A = this chain, B = another copy of it.
Amino acid sequence: MELFYSREIAAGERVLDRQESGHCIKVLRHREGDTIHIVDGCGCLYRCRITKADPNATVFEVEETIEGYGAHPYHLTMAVAPPKNIDRFEWFCEKATETGVDVIVPIVGDYSERKVFKGDRCERIIISAAKQSHKGAIPSLAALTPVREFLMRDFAPGTQKYICYCSDVEGAQKIHIREALAAAPDSRDFVVMIGPEGDFSRDEISLALAHGWQLISLGDSRLRIETAALTATSAVYLSRV
């Protein structure tokens, strides 16, 4: 089953945009009267019938609305420092979307190699991954955010805030993400921070500890940024579904 995407459908819009219309009519050769399925990117799937098979502006009517389509039973924000090679970050965005993530926040810290980030390509990759893996909700991609600003941000009460750090910190407890997840069996809200190749700075970690972040480890393997980020995403996914 092919999914189309229209963020405006929830607001009453009944026309597919040019790109989706072209794909629907020119590529998939849908005709008037055909049933198609559209997601709004916010969790709803709409079963629709084409009333005007226009390759530039396909018109449809909604026959059924299914909420929480392809939803996962947790809310996960992944804050990750994009590596120099942006393909690796785009790859993480695709795989995390398939697995189950809600918000992706590219972060820039003291030891970041990459200080600029353009999200357009990532946005497209996330949307197509969400459609391909049949998710009604499309993860949102935030703008590049300074690590310090993110560390001091307020999250929903009960949110588990994990920060991956390779070194040990005197006087601070660091636990395996598996243990952290097991220690909070009823939690459904998670935020995980993954730093750059050079990791977070000591100052950033001190700020994290001062703001109630839990230091976590992902085990002994030396993982690239994007692999660590997906491993953490999988850890949350595997522990909650």
Contacts and interface: CB of A to CB of B under 8 A. Distances in A.
A224 B230 CA distance: 14
A238 interface: yes
Contacts of A143: none
A177 interface: yes
B234 A221 contact: no
Interface residues of A, number: 29
A176 to B, nearest CB: 8
A132 to B, nearest CB: 8
A233 to B, nearest CB: 9
A98 B230 contact: no
Nearest to A235: B238
A98 to B, nearest CB: 5
A65 interface: no
Contacts of A133: 221-224
A132 B132 CA distance: 32
Given A70-B222, A72-B220, A134-B222, A231 B99 contact: yes
Nearest to A134: B222
Nearest 6 A/B pairs, CB to CB: A219-B241, A234-B234, A133-B222, A98-B227, A134-B222, A231-B234
Interface of A: 70, 72, 91, 95, 98-100, 132-134, 176-178, 218-224, 227, 230-231, 234-235, 237-239, 241
